[in-house]
A and B are shown apart, each in its own frame.
Chain A
Amino acid sequence: MKKEKIVMAVTIGISAFILVAIIFMQFKVVEKTDRISIDAMTESDLRSELISWREKYDELQLQYQDTLVKIQEYKEEYKSDEETEKLLENELTELKTLLGETNVHGQGIIITINEGNLQNDKINYEDLLYIVNELKAAGAEAISINDNRVINRTGIYTIGTESGFIKIDGKRILAPYIIKAIGNQTYLEGALLGNGGYVDELRKWGFEIQIERNDDVKIDAYSNSLSNKYMK
């Protein structure tokens, strides 16, 4: 009997709890909602407004979908753009290296030419041109004379008579001439030495020439700026 009473009290208490909780929630909702503006409109007004809002919602939903698709596309494009950018960058550095606009190093040879005490004969620009040409023919990838990079456009020339200064791209160079070349060491050496090699010829004339193999020849970048004025 007592147990039954307790059960009854608890269940009735719980139902009272639920009822009052719902009532108070309802009070709160009704209090907070702007009833006046809703009540002021007739039902047809509300309905038409609802329809228009629904249409707007549908439209916006469509737009949202479109935008999502676009964003996806842009993202993919961005990814591919990044890839092309990397490719282009690689290409650019490669081209710059080819042009001689970067500092490079690698196996090669260093040729040192001393004029010695010869009074009547000096190294002239033709000798240097000849050596450079031989080196290029032997597959030299980078050449410098007294740390002046020799690139495709480089001119080696002299001013005035044959006893004048040797100039490379407008810079005057003096003996001793140090020519650095990066490439296959054997080929480079073979092109200069040996039968009919130009260095041998010069040695016969009495110049002191050393050829040194170096596994890490360092050649600096071309220092002048390259620009096109006439080429189109």
Chain B
Amino acid sequence: MIYLAIIVGCILGAILGINAPMISYTYSTYLAIAVVAALDSVFGGISSVLKKNFDLKIFLSGFFVNSILSILLTILGQKLNVDIYLATIFVFISRMFNNLTIIRRYYVEKWSEQLEHLRKIKAETDTNQSNNS
């Protein structure tokens, strides 16, 4: 059900995004930062699902508040003539990699466990066969 919602949302979003009017290039920086922040939240959400401590409220608040905060920080940086958005991107991307690492480790471990399991079964069957013969 959740996967279905995600797919439908993605398709509708793509249609809207393609048909939406052009945004000025000036604002595209802000949007990019917001996208990075949201993606960070998404990966954080996935890793928390894997860790089995996923909370919808935390996910949603992270999703929106992080995006808005990063946009505000970018605007502040432009006013102060400091490229704050670089720092935001750095933080978000490093967090994304952390979360990706967690996800990767989880699946690799699962996979290796499965392999181990298979090998064990195979070994058992082998020993059984040798015993039988």
Residue in contact with B13 in the complex, picked from A10, A18, A29, CB distance below 8 Å: A18
In the complex, what residues of A have CB within 8 A of residue B20's CB?
Answer: 21, 24-25, 28
B6-31, CB under 8 A of A: which get 1 and which 0?
10111011101110101101001001
**A223 sits at the interface (CB 8 A):** no
**B63 sits at the interface (CB 8 A):** yes
Q: How far is the CA of A5 from the CA of B56 in the complex (A)?
A: 10
In the complex, what residues of B have CB within 8 A of residue A29's CB?
Answer: 22-23, 25, 28, 31
**A33 sits at the interface (CB 8 A):** yes
Contact A26 B60 (CB under 8 A): no
In the complex, what residues of B have CB within 8 A of residue A25's CB?
Answer: 17, 20, 23, 31
**A230 sits at the interface (CB 8 A):** no
Contact B2 A20 (CB under 8 A): no
Residue in contact with B63 in the complex, picked from A5, A15, A30, CB distance below 8 Å: A15
**A22 sits at the interface (CB 8 A):** yes
Residue in contact with A15 in the complex, picked from B16, B25, B60, CB distance below 8 Å: B60
Q: Count chain B residues whose beta carbon lies closer than 8 angstroms to a beta carbon of A.
A: 30
Q: Return the chain B residue nearest A20 by Cβ.
A: B13
B32-66, CB under 8 A of A: which get 1 and which 0?
10110011001000000000000010011001000
Interface of A is mostly: helix
Contact A26 B31 (CB under 8 A): yes
Q: Count chain A residues whose beta carbon lies closer than 8 angstroms to a beta carbon of B.
A: 28
Total contacts A-B at CB 8 Å:
94
**A173 sits at the interface (CB 8 A):** no
**B4 sits at the interface (CB 8 A):** yes
Contact A28 B17 (CB under 8 A): yes
A23-64, CB under 8 A of B: which get 1 and which 0?
111111110110000000000000000000000000000000
Given contacts A21-B13, A24-B18, contact A8 B31 (CB under 8 A): no
Contact A12 B2 (CB under 8 A): yes
What's the minimum C-beta distance from A1 to chain B, rounded to whole angstroms?
Answer: 12
Given contacts A12-B2, A13-B5, A15-B63, contact A24 B28 (CB under 8 A): no
**A9 sits at the interface (CB 8 A):** yes
Contact A9 B10 (CB under 8 A): no
Q: How far is the CA of A231 from the CA of B25 in the complex (A)?
A: 76
**A19 sits at the interface (CB 8 A):** yes
In the complex, what residues of B have CB within 8 A of residue A154's CB?
Answer: none
Given contacts A19-B39, A23-B35, A26-B35, contact A8 B17 (CB under 8 A): no
In the complex, what residues of B have CB within 8 A of residue A28's CB?
Answer: 17-18, 20, 22
Given contacts A23-B17, A29-B28, contact A13 B6 (CB under 8 A): yes
Q: How far is the CA of A7 from the CA of B5 in the complex (A)?
A: 11
Contact B35 A22 (CB under 8 A): yes
Q: List 16 A-B contacts (CB under 8 A).
A: A5-B2, A12-B2, A12-B9, A14-B9, A17-B13, A19-B38, A19-B42, A21-B16, A22-B13, A23-B35, A24-B20, A25-B17, A25-B31, A27-B17, A28-B17, A28-B18
